[in-house]
Structure 1
Amino acid sequence: MTQSIKHSFLLIIFPFLLFGQAEEVIAPDYIKTVVFSGKTPESQLPIIKLGDRIVLTFDALNGNEDDFYYKIEHFDFDWKPSNLSKAEYMVGYDNNRIRHYENSFNTFQIYSHYNLTIPNERTRGLIKSGNYMLQIFDDYDELVFSRKFMIYENQADVGVIVRRSRDVKYYDEKHTIDLAISSSSILFNNPVETVKTLIVQNNNLNTAISNLKPQYTLGNELIYKYTSESSFWAGNEYLNFENKDIRGANVSIQFIELEDLYNNFLFTDIVRANRPYTFNPDINGNFVITALDTERPWIEADYVWMHFSLLAEESIMNKNIYVYGNFNNYELTEANKMHYNDARGVYEAQLLLKQGFYSYKYVLTDENNKLQEGAISGNFHQTDNNYKVLVYYRDLGARYDRLIGIGEANSINIAN
């Protein structure tokens, strides 16, 4: 076998080994409203118990009734391929066509709505805990998009406490997460090497804190009480809008126009970083599809051009600003990037979104393309955030990282 043939073979069989950690592939423009959930329908980061189901739904807006296929891969804690074969983590087989889809009904925008549930008659179960990637392919076996999910065993108790920052400098702006991990079935030998943690704020893997080491051990209990390493910027409550009735006034919508599709124009938002905190109940970046006077919103809700505008201040001029939330998987792309309108003195963006209730915020990236999530919204310790802690374990000689427990807390019950 020549060197070039060998190289091509490796590219096909071991792409993740060659290119490092696996990353989610962003969906193309014609794929919209990707909803990936576990036991709780509104969750956009499925972290499910071993044996539970996951559901992926999405819309294809090209009107072609395309065929899509799915594959499932197992990964270690660091998102490198695990040493397990598919037969070891899967009962049944993947690389199947998604068979359940429906076409839109009575909408201006034509689309096909796809629904994939696992387990199903072909992929009958996933039997190992850990990190997984669900990949969606087209008829040409080209990867269309992918999403991460996790499966856990209930083998560890994970205590989570949200506190105000221990660093006085950020006392009013950051949350610190304290952890206590214990297990009645696993003896944590050499936990610095065998136990790994992941702390996730508001289901956003992009800002997660990874692999903190236990500071203390009390018997078989691992204690984490860091000053800065487990701290998150607290952010601010998300903004929101609702357009379940695209023909009438709804929450945060200033006026409506009808062209080929409906256009909903939101009231212009302002920079909140230097203003007092105001409590505003939100759903932490999530979204819910809903439409008035419909029995099947998944195919009867229409698509609308949503127009966002942000009043420019000197502090954000000449920066890259994005509209951001779970509706676009917290991605920073040209599709949700804002552009400055000189005539109005505002940043503007228009996004094609399905009718529903959405929470969103504005974020910017600096000259080094580093995310500054609170630069526009501000950071306030009073902010209501959700925190999840995932605990992984690999015993000496084991072949993969087990996800042995999950803990959850909310900063509404913050401790000083």
Structure 2
Amino acid sequence: MLLKLNTVLLLCIIPLFAFSQVEEVNPPDYIKTITFKGSTLESQLPILKLGQPLILEFDALNGDEDDFYYKIEHYDFDWTRSKLAKAEYLRGFDDQRIRDYDNSLNTYQIFSHYRLRIPNEQTRGILKSGNYIISIYDDYDELVFTRKFMVYEDLVSVGVNIKRSRNVKYINEAQTVDFKIVTNNINFNNPSQTIKTLVIQNNNLHNTISDLKPTYTLGNELIYRYTNEANFWAGNEYYFFENKDVRAANVGVQFTDLRDIYHTFLYTNRERATLPYTYNPDINGNFLVTALDADNVSIEADYTMVHFSLQHPELTDGSTIYVYGNFNNYALEETNKLTFDSVSGLYKTAFELKQGFYNYKYVVVDAKGNIDEGLIGGDFWQTENNYKVLVYYRDLGARYDKLIGFGEASSVDISN
């Protein structure tokens, strides 16, 4: 996206890839299939109503039945540590061992599946709204990975509508997010300063617009309606595949091969930026673990080596191509970087994924680290995307940022 630098400056599309003061720590290669959710099926970015449970699951592929521990910390809107003591936002104790785990059953790849649910006997609940980070440590107190989540209080109503870009130059490529905040419970003091907002596209915290100010106030409503500042590149529907049956080809799978473990070879993808938009329903970058003839997919779904290939001319300007999605928290790492194979003329990579249904996309990163999500997939206003709007509030003299409202909408109902 940021490769379109001149375009971004004109359009004022400002997804903040560097929004966070604290970045999530991605796991080592032996930790796989992190699913992080509340009462919904979202597998990476839980946004919970205060009092709802939180569930974190992951696999350790080393077969050592390691012990893992968790810690929970509270953060303000800008992801700096809040001034609250742990006893103020957490009922009970953290820094506890994850006790619920099982070993894989009838799989070629041996792994242990871990499951943490909050509240539990030690950590009985979360007391305050706001931003949080859960950190997973090993037996040596070394950090393994972290994940962000949000807890909100239902104090305001947030209405969200998705429109085509009001900037006619980019009306075919971008979507804009209109929203309003309605309250009968809070008398806002100086809302342009005390209210903070965050808009998230497809649960990707690397693709957000932060801290928009209300364009005007109408009674007890704060209205956010921008021409440029609330625009996102629309992208395209995700590529996808399903390998719930490792012994036969399935959706998006060309063939399978059994070596030390099963290998899943996907059909070669091609760039779609120059093709007309085609509606192809996806799950907005998410994934779902599935397996045939399995009573408990958490431990019976096997891991396969998934082979990706992309038909694209070799890049000679120092740019690189990655494949990512919610399955790896949109990380850019050596594992999911494609390399050009001069024999086949294709970009290729392969890494282990658990059986399931997966969305993924290819992105180009230039020599300066700027990301362009549309160079290969294209940007089309018709694309169905999910948008979430979070509303934070810090009254005068308050010690932390409350998360007081949450709204979401899909661009399936997009209008002019």
Give the TM-score range, shorter chain.
over 0.9
1:141 aligned partner: 141
8 Å Cα contact 2:314-2:340 kept in structure 1: no
1:105 aligned partner: 105
In the TM superposition, residue 317 of structure 1 has moved relative to its aligned partner by: 7.2
Cα distance in structure 2, aligned partners of 1:48 and 1:156:
15
**Alignment partner of 1:376: what SS?**
helix
8 Å Cα contact 2:317-2:367 kept in structure 1: no
Cα distance in structure 1, aligned partners of 2:223 and 2:89:
31
1:169 aligned partner: 169
In the TM superposition, residue 34 of structure 1 has moved relative to its aligned partner by: 0.3
Cα distance in structure 1, aligned partners of 2:87 and 2:44:
28
Matches within 5 A, 1:10-409: 21-313=21-313, 319-409=319-409
In the TM superposition, residue 320 of structure 1 has moved relative to its aligned partner by: 0.8
Q: State the AA in 1 paired with 2:207.
A: T
**Alignment partner of 1:250: what SS?**
coil
1:315-339 deviation line (CA, Å, top 9, x unaligned): 7875210111000001111111100
8 Å Cα contact 1:188-1:220 kept in structure 2: no
Change (3 A) 1:327 1:146: same
Q: State the AA in 2 paired with 1:155.
A: L
Q: State the AA in 2 paired with 1:135.
A: S
8 Å Cα contact 1:339-1:348 kept in structure 2: yes
1:307-357 deviation line (CA, Å, top 9, x unaligned): 000001367875210111000001111111100000000100102000000
**Alignment partner of 1:84: what SS?**
coil
TM (normalized to structure 2)? Answer: 0.94
**Alignment partner of 1:162: what SS?**
strand
8 Å Cα contact 2:157-2:405 kept in structure 1: yes
1:39-80 deviation line (CA, Å, top 9, x unaligned): 113342100000000100000001100000000000000000
Cα distance in structure 2, aligned partners of 1:66 and 1:359:
30
Q: State the AA in 2 paired with 1:277.
A: Y
Give aligned pairs, total: 397
8 Å Cα contact 1:42-1:288 kept in structure 2: no
In the TM superposition, residue 386 of structure 1 has moved relative to its aligned partner by: 0.4
Query: Which aligned runs of 4 or more in structure 1 are off by greater than 4 angstroms?
Result: 314-318
**Alignment partner of 2:299: what SS?**
helix
Q: State the AA in 1 paired with 2:208.
A: A
Cα distance in structure 2, aligned partners of 1:60 and 1:155:
40
**Alignment partner of 1:379: what SS?**
coil
8 Å Cα contact 2:69-2:97 kept in structure 1: yes
Moved more, 390-399 or 366-375: 366-375
Moved more, 309-318 or 183-192: 309-318
Cα distance in structure 2, aligned partners of 1:368 and 1:159:
38
Cα distance in structure 2, aligned partners of 1:344 and 1:270:
14
8 Å Cα contact 2:318-2:366 kept in structure 1: no
Cα distance in structure 2, aligned partners of 1:89 and 1:357:
36
Cα distance in structure 1, aligned partners of 2:315 and 2:276:
17
**Alignment partner of 1:285: what SS?**
coil
2:4 aligned partner: none
**Alignment partner of 1:335: what SS?**
helix
Cα distance in structure 2, aligned partners of 1:255 and 1:123:
46
TM (normalized to structure 1)? Answer: 0.94
Q: State the AA in 2 paired with 1:376.
A: I
In the TM superposition, residue 227 of structure 1 has moved relative to its aligned partner by: 1.1
8 Å Cα contact 1:271-1:313 kept in structure 2: no
1:125-175 deviation line (CA, Å, top 9, x unaligned): 001000000000001111100000000000001111100001111100000
**Unaligned 5+ runs, structure 1:** 1-19
1:13 aligned partner: none
**Alignment partner of 2:412: what SS?**
helix
**Alignment partner of 2:270: what SS?**
coil
Change (3 A) 1:305 1:314: closer
8 Å Cα contact 1:159-1:407 kept in structure 2: yes
2:5 aligned partner: none
8 Å Cα contact 2:131-2:150 kept in structure 1: yes
8 Å Cα contact 1:44-1:326 kept in structure 2: yes
Cα distance in structure 2, aligned partners of 1:366 and 1:283:
27
Cα distance in structure 1, aligned partners of 2:274 and 2:23:
35
Q: Which has the higher contact order (CA 8 A, sep 6+)?
A: 2
**Unaligned 5+ runs, structure 2:** 1-19
In the TM superposition, residue 226 of structure 1 has moved relative to its aligned partner by: 1.0
